[in-house]
Structure 1
Amino acid sequence: MTSQQPMHRVSASATAMLPNPSTIKDSPAVERALSRSKVYLLVSWSLLYPEDEEFLDYLRCGEFVEDGRTALDALGVALGADGSQRAKDKLVALKKQLDLVEGLIASECVNWQLSDLQSEHRRVFSNVITLDCPPYETLFGNDHVFAQSHVMGDISGFYKAFGVELSKDIHERLDHLSVEFEFMHFLAYKESYSLCHDGPEKTQIVVEAQKKFVKNHIGRWVPLFCRMLAKKADSGLFKLVADMTADWMEFETAFLAVTPQPYTETDYRPATFSSPEGQTYECGAQDQGNELSMLLNEVGAQSFMDVKEKDKDKDQEEGRPSGTA
């Protein structure tokens, strides 16, 4: 489900389903949904391991910052007088974070090679699942493998309900932050589409799904993860990404009017896995035959990673956003 496309580009299936701009209603609600969708995608992409130079080019040419500012500016206008003061304050903080990213790009990233960005990512996240700042939800607040299975199954249920699954070329876990943020990107975009074409009843279903996913999932573990990431990175790109992500989560909880019960440092008790002989606990990008596969099989979620063409074809016939998100 995780995209490797920059903010100004969308997957082929999504592009085919994009409504003509002339058909989009010029309303603050649509603008808010589209802008939130963009920010989620921007943060999602920034945390993936850079397999090629696409994201580095996106940084160096200035489009990362430009797209972020455009989305935040539009979101601020669309909030108008209806937005809470806390949400507006967080938009100001997010713009300051982008200023810092712009300064880092000008002073350091502009001279980076792909190997430099990859080395920085490995320094912070390592090649195996680091317990200093693991970008996986089920390693937070779940000190037993069966508790992790339950959470993984709930995440899978959200994805299945909206007909999305992991991309075949992205060997990541369902609970990776990039995957969960791209799911929110998809939901926010789907909200904008629904506002224009599906009416209030179906739109409310999408809005409620966003609220539940923030309250029960990313709103609980991402704030602690951001503090851990900022501490591990200490400086540089991923320190700024951590701070920006933390501010974004505070904006989202204020905007959606939800109150998650966030994990604290004392809640961080990752489960200890008993790996089969000769098998190590690595993230899916390195080894698909790991404990994650066992967890998915336990909760019956492996099937969610398979392509389900029936739902996709139905959405495509009706002109709705579908496919891999």
Structure 2
Amino acid sequence: MDIYRMYIYTFLSVAFSYPYEEALKEVEEGLDDLSLSLKALGIDFDVDLLRKALKGAKERLLNLQGEWNALFSTSLKAPANETAYELEKAGRKAAELADIEGFYKAFGLEVKASVEPDSLVAELEFMAYLVKKKVYLKEKGDAEALSIVSKAITSFFRDHLGRWYRIFTDLLKQQTEEEYYKLLGELLRSFLDKEREGVDGIVDVETYRKETLEGVTWKCGF
């Protein structure tokens, strides 16, 4: 089942990136594999609705790009960065960013200079990378390395992605009228709720003080 998990993480990282034509084309081309992966994992989501919404969004590309900016970048209606939801900004943001970058560096990875390491896209890409590495190590039969990667998957989800995706998807649902992003939020929530099963110790972030962030621009993606 890990191969399906890896695919959905990768799909979502592309889907939540800035909606250039190339990215939307990649999303569209991946919908059949998305459907297969969701069925294999027992996740109930109507991919045909997403397909229809994507078609309409592509016809309104400039509007879609404007909505992406308003939601995730300029107006921060639903910021797509983990540390945007830290109430004690000065201390907590630095600590969380250091911990996230520590995970990346432990696996020989780093984000581009223009990228925020705590962005949704970066964290999704990292989870996809870890699950892909897990698949490889299973095939190789390297039990020690497999144990390390498996623990990293659980730890990163518990300490980072798993703690803020719910407040993010709640805000996204409230703040956008764009059906494409509404459905992506539902997909993200359904998938990560499935990933959350069996992961103990997650403390959800529950409050977002938007007034402390006005004027800040967050960037996403590796």
Q: Structure 2: which amino acid aligns with 1:100?
A: L
Q: Does 1:244 align with 2:191?
A: no
1:54 matched residue in structure 2: 22
Q: Does 1:102 align with 2:58?
A: no
The CA deviation string for residues 286-312 of structure 1, in whole angstroms up to 9 with x for no partner, is xxxxxxxxxxxxxxxxxxxxxxxxxxx
2:164 matched residue in structure 1: 221
Give the 3-state SS of the residue equivalent to 2:30 in structure 1: helix
Question: Are residues 133 and 139 of structure 1, via their aligned partners in 2, closer, same or farther at CA, if it must alter by over 3 Å?
Answer: same
**TM-score normalised by structure 1 residue count:** 0.62
Question: Are residues 49 and 203 of structure 1, via their aligned partners in 2, closer, same or farther at CA, if it must alter by over 3 Å?
Answer: same
CA distance in 2, matches of 1:65, 1:39: 10
CA distance in 1, matches of 2:105, 2:75: 26
1:232 matched residue in structure 2: 175
Q: Structure 1: which amino acid aligns with 2:14?
A: W
Q: Structure 1: which amino acid aligns with 2:85?
A: F
The CA deviation string for residues 231-282 of structure 1, in whole angstroms up to 9 with x for no partner, is 111341111111111111100011x543412122xx3246947xxxxxx632
CA distance in 1, matches of 2:2, 2:108: 19
Q: Does 1:262 align with 2:204?
A: yes
Please report how far the alpha carbon of residue 43 of structure 1 lies from its aligned counterpart in structure 2 after TM superposition: 0.7
Native 8 Å contact 1:56 1:114 kept in 2: no
Q: Does 1:283 align with 2:204?
A: no
Q: Does 1:128 align with 2:74?
A: yes
> Where do 5+ consecutive residues of structure 1 fail to align?
1-31, 77-87, 274-279, 286-324
The CA deviation string for residues 43-65 of structure 1, in whole angstroms up to 9 with x for no partner, is 11111113x31122234xx4232
**TM-score normalised by structure 2 residue count:** 0.88
Q: Structure 2: which amino acid aligns with 1:206?
A: V
CA distance in 1, matches of 2:219, 2:100: 17
CA distance in 2, matches of 1:104, 1:66: 15
Question: Are residues 234 and 114 of structure 1, via their aligned partners in 2, closer, same or farther at CA, if it must alter by over 3 Å?
Answer: closer
1:145 matched residue in structure 2: 90
Native 8 Å contact 1:221 1:262 kept in 2: yes
How many correspondences in the alignment?
222
Question: Are residues 198 and 142 of structure 1, via their aligned partners in 2, closer, same or farther at CA, if it must alter by over 3 Å?
Answer: farther
The CA deviation string for residues 184-213 of structure 1, in whole angstroms up to 9 with x for no partner, is 000000000011115222111111111111
Native 8 Å contact 1:42 1:68 kept in 2: yes
Q: Which residues of 2 match residues 44-123 of structure 1 at below 5 A?
A: 44-50=13-19, 52-59=20-27, 62-73=28-39, 75-76=40-41, 88=42, 91=43, 93=44, 95-96=45-46, 98-106=47-55, 108-109=56-57, 112=59, 114-123=61-70
Q: Structure 1: which amino acid aligns with 2:152?
A: A
CA distance in 1, matches of 2:174, 2:60: 25
CA distance in 1, matches of 2:63, 2:147: 44
Native 8 Å contact 1:215 1:260 kept in 2: yes
Native 8 Å contact 1:155 1:174 kept in 2: yes
Native 8 Å contact 2:15 2:24 kept in 1: no
Please report how far the alpha carbon of residue 34 of structure 1 lies from its aligned counterpart in structure 2 after TM superposition: 1.5
CA distance in 2, matches of 1:151, 1:228: 21
CA distance in 1, matches of 2:132, 2:105: 17
Q: Which residues of 2 match residues 282-301 of structure 1 at below 5 A?
A: 282-284=217-219
Q: Does 1:180 align with 2:123?
A: yes
Native 8 Å contact 1:216 1:260 kept in 2: yes
CA distance in 2, matches of 1:251, 1:123: 29
2:2 matched residue in structure 1: 33
The structure having more radius of gyration, on CA atoms, is 1
CA distance in 2, matches of 1:55, 1:260: 32
Q: Percent identity?
A: 26
1:155 matched residue in structure 2: 100
Q: Structure 2: which amino acid aligns with 1:40?
A: Y
Native 8 Å contact 2:172 2:182 kept in 1: yes
> Where do 5+ consecutive residues of structure 2 fail to align?
none
Native 8 Å contact 1:219 1:262 kept in 2: yes
